[in-house]
Amino acid sequence: MHDFELMISQRSKAIDVSGIRRVFELGAKLKDPINLSIGQPDFPVPETLKEAAIEAIRQDKNGYTLTQGVAELRDAINRHLTSDIGWDMNSSDTMMLVTSGTSGALLLAVQALLNPGDEIIAGDPYFVVYPSLAELCGATFVPCDTYPDCRMTAARVEPLITDRTKIVLVNSPGNPSGVVLTNDELKDLVDLCKRKGVLLISDEIYDEFTYEDAREDGRCPSPARFDDQMLVVRGFGKSYGCTGWRMGYVAGPASIIREMAKLQQYTFVCAPSMSQYGLVGVFDVDMTSYVEAYRRKRDMVIRAFDGVANLATPGGAFYAFVEVPESMGLTATQFVEKGIEQNVLTIPGNVFSKADTHFRISYATSDDKLEAGLEVLTGLMAQVASAT
Ligand code: PMP
């Protein structure tokens, strides 16, 4: 018999999923939980997009596509980028690549850029996958402490930059906090990265889900409006309810994107064909009513915790990152376990952070479930407040 344990690479072993696995195991025991842990929207894919994907399958468009993506979708994305961030997508210095999800774009980016020993900085709390992106390359993940406001500002990043820093990765609207940085803050990050010779990567997967109060000139703030010498990564899964379609894209300097396309050719090959055809008309779909519905849910969350617990005001995505009141004397993991005992599932902060002081709520659920879940969570907090 082989000892398969011994065969597993150091690279794979270095990735620790114990925190999130524990939550899922606890959650799996619940019969009909109030699930505030899910990182995807609760609305269906718009009908026109479904029809376009089905039609592509029927028309036998089921083979490999060009690794860069099908022409119709590429044209649509390039037009969108030009109108949204002002990049000249016809320039030979700038390129765009359609990828298998935003995850695909991020993985290709780090694989194309990071050598062992290089450093990548991202805000703490961070999207759960970011540290492992570094580990997969033998690089070092450098968390930038952004507590309590979850804003990764240039002032917080600058002291962390060393001569091994290659990438600063910014995520706004952010997972797990929903916090949206301002154009001024993002411009400062652009300037810092330029001055230090570091590449800025902007993960904008939640850009569509930015609420009116966090928008500037009607749009989600983006560092890409100040510079095209960076990578902008976006996706369709969250914005259009099609996370399983595995669709994203990345745009930036041609010399980097060409390397990423080469790696994609030899790994993912291409993004799923029916998903690409399904999304050709995506920029004509109006998601305003869904964004408005999530804005209302965001307001429900803010109201529920007002005067009860601290949270950085979410300006987008569908998350809130709530601090467990200190008076409870509990880690976030312990608090989340108490919630689970009452059938409410959230995710403890140590999954997204070096700290275990906050928990993430996803409010991408029905108003009734959200209301019921918030009642349980704030009720747990109130019990302690009245006992002390
Ligand atoms: N970036 C962030 C910040 C995310 O929250 C997620 C999904 N949870 C991703 C990237 C990956 O998204 P995709 O499904 O497009 O790979």
CATH at residue 120: 3.40.640.10
Query: Any residues with Cβ below 6 Å from ligand 1, and which?
Result: 39, 101-103, 127, 171, 175, 203, 205, 235, 237, 243, 248
Range of the domain at 380: 4-45+287-387
Mean pLDDT of the chain: 96
Q: Specify whether 331 is located in the same domain as 378.
A: yes
Backbone angles phi, psi at 257, to 5 degrees: -65, -35
How many other β-carbons are positioned within 10 Å of the β-carbon of residue 320?
A: 28
Q: What is the pLDDT of residues 191-227, one digit of tens each?
A: 999 999 999 999 999 999 999 999 999 999 999 999 9
Q: Is residue 54 part of a domain?
A: no
Q: Residue 16's domain is classified under what CATH number?
A: 3.90.1150.10
- Secondary structure letter of residue 150 according to DSSP: T
Share of the chain above pLDDT 90, in %: 91
Q: How far is the CA of 102 from the centre of ligand 1 (A)?
A: 6
Structural domain total, the chain: 2
Q: How far is the CA of 40 from the centre of ligand 1 (A)?
A: 9
pTM value? 0.97
Q: What is the pLDDT of residues 6-32, one digit of tens each?
A: 999 999 998 888 777 888 888 888 888
Q: Is residue 52 part of a domain?
A: no
Q: Specify whether 249 is located in the same domain as 356.
A: no
- Secondary structure letter of residue 292 according to DSSP: H
Alpha-carbon dihedral sign for residues 152, 158, 162, 168: positive
CB contact set of 334 (below 8 Å; sequence gap of 6+):
none
DSSP 45-94: PPHHHHHHHHHHHHTT--S---TT--HHHHHHHHHHHHHHH---TTSTTE
> In the predicted model, is pLDDT for residue 387 greater than 70?
no
Where does the pLDDT of residue 260 fall: very low under 50, low under 70, confident under 90, or very high at 90 and above?
A: very high
Q: Specify whether 311 is located in the same domain as 376.
A: yes
> In the predicted model, is pLDDT for residue 233 greater than 90?
yes
Give the pLDDT confidence score for residue 39 in this predicted structure: 87
Q: Is residue 56 part of a domain?
A: no
Mutate to test the pocket of ligand 1, among 99, 100, 108, 127 (most ligand atoms within 8 A of CB): 127
Q: Which helix or strand (DSSP H or E) is residue 268 part of?
A: none
> In the predicted model, is pLDDT for residue 388 greater than 60?
no
Q: How far is the CA of 271 from the centre of ligand 1 (A)?
A: 15
Where does the pLDDT of residue 1 fall: very low under 50, low under 70, confident under 90, or very high at 90 and above?
A: confident
Q: How far is the CA of 321 from the centre of ligand 1 (A)?
A: 17
Q: Specify whether 66 is located in the same domain as 41.
A: no
Give the pLDDT confidence score for residue 18 in this predicted structure: 78
Choose one of 235, 259, 284: the last residue of a domain: 284
Where does the pLDDT of residue 166 fall: very low under 50, low under 70, confident under 90, or very high at 90 and above?
A: very high
Q: How far is the CA of 166 from the centre of ligand 1 (A)?
A: 22
Q: Specify whether 266 is located in the same domain as 305.
A: no
Where does the pLDDT of residue 257 fall: very low under 50, low under 70, confident under 90, or very high at 90 and above?
A: very high
Mutate to test the pocket of ligand 1, among 110, 124, 129 (most ligand atoms within 8 A of CB): 129
Residue whose CA is closest, atom 5 of ligand 1?
A: 175
Provide the H-helix boundaries in the chain. 4-7, 10-13, 18-28, 47-58, 71-85, 101-113, 130-135, 154-157, 183-196, 237-240, 254-265, 273-278, 288-305, 332-341, 367-387
